[in-house]
Structure 1
Amino acid sequence: MRPFRSLGTYVALFVGLAGVFLALYAWRLPPFDSSVERTNDAYVRGQVTVIAPQLAGIVAEVAVQDYETVEAGQLIARLDDRIFAQRVAQARAGLAGQKAALANSQQQRQSSLAKIAASEAAVKSAASAAENASANFARVQPLARQGYVPGSDLDVATRQNSQAEAALDQAKAQLEVARQDLQTVIVNRQTLEAAVDNAEAAVKLAEIDLANTRILAPRAGQLGEVGVKAGQYVQAGTQLTSVVPDAIWVVANFKETQLPGMQVGQPVRFTVDAFGGREMTGHIERFAPATGSEFAVLRPDNATGNFTKVAQRVPVRIRIDPGQPRMDDLSPGLSVVVFVDTAAEPDTRQASANGG
């Protein structure tokens, strides 16, 4: 075969071969295939907690500034608590009134018991009087029939016997009334006890509302931008600021075609764009239970129209190895580029710690 005589031919041949090798490298085809999977669809994540009031009111004090580091329980802001303090006082007064009514019910119970005792004594007295009147009537009646006593004595004995029986019935009725009064007091006491419980709950609710006028940091971390000012009226749920704890991790969204060979516990390398490409290390902690599209609010409907297959991405959570330089500078939302060698042996300690 005759060699090429034109320099342009060699240049064209070189460019063609370079294009072929570049395409092979881009698609990771032999001889450029590699076990290292890479994605730039990865970000630092953290538990960003939004701080909001549970009450509506006027902001009386803002005790922090933007990006300040706070401890758990530290005051963030305070609402005007005058109304809520008066509600606590009102609830406590209501509780005192209900307790007084309950104490009065106890006195009524004792009084009812005394009335029952008095009525029982009255029944015994009336029974004794009725017995005497009946005995007197039994003596006078045969004597009156034989003419030994005048008829007026029989009338008196008869009347006294009837009055004694009526007095006994009346005493028994009063005893029953006293017993029913006691039962009424007992039933009313249950109502009063329930009212006391309700008043105690009202006091606790009022105290909770008063405590909620002090908006505290739920955990230690660094605040975001503080978006509230003193004198501002806020509604319940209004976002005041956010707190970002120190706990951070990386979430890398790998294509489903990149997952073969990935295991929990495998080592990971990643570079941080904000650090000028500084490389850091970590380990795969766990895989998402579904692809990212399954968690989307509007999921694609592949059952209609023409279908074009699109490689889905699966979020992979990566634990950042502790003790690395600039760990304190990592913030949720930073972009990273993640590299995973699918041929690397997983760390069994990492896998067992995460259920792998």
Structure 2
Amino acid sequence: MADNQPDIMETKPDRRKQQPVENADRRADSSVEKRPSLVRRHPFWILSGIVVLAALIVGAWFGWKIYFYPYESTDDAFVAARSFSVAAKVSGYVAEVPVTDNQHVAAGDVILRIEPRDYQIALDQANGQVEVAKAAVDSAGAQIEAANASVDVARAQQNSAAAALQYAQQESARQQQLVKSGSGSVQAVQQAASTLQQDQASLAQMQANVTSALKNKTVAEAQKSSALASLKQAEAQAEEAQQNLSYTTITAAQPGRVVRLTGAKGQYIDAGQAISTFVPDEIWITANFKETQLTDMRPGQPVELTIDAYPDHKLHGKVASVQPGSGTAFSLLPAENATGNYVKVTQRVPVKIVVDKWPADVAIGPGMSVVPTVTVRPRN
């Protein structure tokens, strides 16, 4: 017990020395915790710095976009093409449809056939009418030749009658001179006068025959003209029948795809009825840029394109042309801005973009969304 007491007394002074140190540390920590932060001490300057920094960032971004950014892009862009409806020009029952939906066809490929029997019969009838008209023309030509021969015969007879009449006149005058001189007889004078009258009547008849022959020739020529007109009409009908027969086979006028095919074998279709929609191979991009994006846009500038349906296919092209006017100006009902409550709205202008090479492993057609990016200024 005596040995332990000095040890206890020795430890007590140490604890008293440690307590003031611990209290000093606690007072220091409390003073640090009570000291306000930098934000609380300078809130105005901190907020002002943040605002200035944000303004610099926004200004730098706008400056980059306006003065240094060399691209213009829009998501208001679509694939365009001059699609049209394929319609039948003649009516009839469908005999064959050798294509199917969305099939690619070349120029001249058959899309649909209509039963041609009725139109073949009409063509045969028209060709028969042509042969009849040709025969009528030949007959009229033969009548003209016969009329020419009749005219020649009548004129020859007229010349002969005129010569006979001249001789009869001379003979009558000679017999009258003989009677006056006492050398002739009254009978001879009377006979010469009778012959003169007969020859005069014969000449008049021959002149009438010439006139009749000429009129017959005129009639024959008129008949030939009529026959020629009938021949032209028959040939026109034959050509029409031939065209109608050719219209029974509907072919592709240019390469493209057959879309929304409605014709089916055995179906009766009327003339003018649409059987499908045709999308030509020639397609392009119509991008509707804002008018404020056209400041530096010119034809020939390079374009990078991304198709929404196939984002892994990166396409390249160039600006072909810029439409001289906004899209609304050429719409069916253009906007009328002459009102008192007019509000200015940024217009969009269609820009035609042609693609260097379309991908062949995917189907691309009108209406598909595209995102074009035009390099409007050279890159630095």
When residues 54 and 15 of structure 1 are mapped into structure 2, their CA distance, relative to the original with a 3 A threshold, is: farther
| Aligned equivalent of 1:354 | none
Instruction: Say whether 1:175 aligns with 2:246.
Output: no
| Aligned equivalent of 1:348 | none
**Which of residues 62, 70, 89 is equivalent to 2:105?**
70
CA contact (8 A) 1:266 1:344 kept: no
Q: Secondary structure at the match of 2:94?
A: strand
TM-score (norm 1): 0.84
| Aligned equivalent of 2:369 | 335
| Aligned equivalent of 1:166 | 201
Deviation at 1:106, TM superposition (A): 1.4
**Which of residues 329, 343, 365 is equivalent to 1:294?**
329
Deviation at 1:107, TM superposition (A): 0.7
Q: Distance in 2 between matches of 1:264 and 1:333?
A: 23
Instruction: Say whether 1:97 aligns with 2:132.
Output: yes
Q: Secondary structure at the match of 1:173?
A: helix
**1:29 is matched by which residue type in structure 2?**
F
Q: Distance in 2 between matches of 1:292 and 1:138?
A: 106
Of structures 1 and 2, the larger Rg is shown by 2
**Which of residues 217, 220, 226 is equivalent to 2:252?**
217
When residues 275 and 15 of structure 1 are mapped into structure 2, their CA distance, relative to the original with a 3 A threshold, is: farther
| Aligned equivalent of 2:282 | 247
**Which of residues 58, 63, 69 is equivalent to 1:30?**
63
Instruction: Say whether 1:192 aligns with 2:208.
Output: no
Q: Distance in 2 between matches of 1:75 and 1:165?
A: 80
Count of residue pairs brought into register by the alignment: 341
Deviation at 1:230, TM superposition (A): 2.0
CA contact (8 A) 2:299 2:321 kept: yes
**1:98 is matched by which residue type in structure 2?**
A
Q: Distance in 1 between matches of 2:313 and 2:343?
A: 38
Could you give the per-residue CA deviations for residues 98-136 of structure 1, whole angstroms, max 9, x where no partner exists? 100110111111101110121122112212321232233
TM-score (norm 2): 0.79
Deviation at 1:152, TM superposition (A): 4.5
**1:217 is matched by which residue type in structure 2?**
A
| Aligned equivalent of 2:11 | none
Q: Secondary structure at the match of 1:96?
A: helix
CA contact (8 A) 1:264 1:285 kept: yes
| Aligned equivalent of 1:126 | 161
Q: Distance in 2 between matches of 1:205 and 1:271?
A: 50
Q: Secondary structure at the match of 1:275?
A: coil
| Aligned equivalent of 1:349 | none
Instruction: Say whether 1:111 aligns with 2:111.
Output: no
Deviation at 1:68, TM superposition (A): 1.8
Q: Distance in 2 between matches of 1:203 and 1:16?
A: 88
**1:214 is matched by which residue type in structure 2?**
T
Could you give the per-residue CA deviations for residues 202-233 of structure 1, whole angstroms, max 9, x where no partner exists? 21111001100111121222211211222322
**Which of residues 171, 182, 186 is equivalent to 1:136?**
171
Q: Distance in 2 between matches of 1:256 and 1:327?
A: 35
Q: Distance in 2 between matches of 1:264 and 1:95?
A: 58
Q: Secondary structure at the match of 1:176?
A: helix
Q: Distance in 2 between matches of 1:235 and 1:24?
A: 67
Instruction: Say whether 1:308 aligns with 2:343.
Output: yes
Which structure: greater helix fraction?
A: 2
Query: What do you get for the CA RMSD once the two structures are aligned?
Result: 3.2
When residues 175 and 140 of structure 1 are mapped into structure 2, their CA distance, relative to the original with a 3 A threshold, is: same
| Aligned equivalent of 1:226 | 261
**Which of residues 334, 344, 355 is equivalent to 2:378?**
344
Q: Following superposition, which runs of at least 4 residues in structure 1 exceed 6 angstroms of deviation?
A: 12-25
Q: Secondary structure at the match of 2:319?
A: strand
CA contact (8 A) 2:141 2:221 kept: no
| Aligned equivalent of 1:259 | 294
When residues 241 and 14 of structure 1 are mapped into structure 2, their CA distance, relative to the original with a 3 A threshold, is: farther
Q: Secondary structure at the match of 1:298?
A: coil
Q: Distance in 2 between matches of 1:21 and 1:80?
A: 77
| Aligned equivalent of 1:202 | 237
CA contact (8 A) 1:77 1:216 kept: yes
CA contact (8 A) 1:24 1:32 kept: no
Moved more, 98-107 or 279-288: 279-288
CA contact (8 A) 1:59 1:79 kept: yes
Deviation at 1:169, TM superposition (A): 1.6
CA contact (8 A) 1:269 1:340 kept: yes
| Aligned equivalent of 1:79 | 114
Q: Secondary structure at the match of 2:298?
A: coil
Instruction: Say whether 1:59 aligns with 2:91.
Output: no
When residues 304 and 234 of structure 1 are mapped into structure 2, their CA distance, relative to the original with a 3 A threshold, is: farther
When residues 145 and 92 of structure 1 are mapped into structure 2, their CA distance, relative to the original with a 3 A threshold, is: same
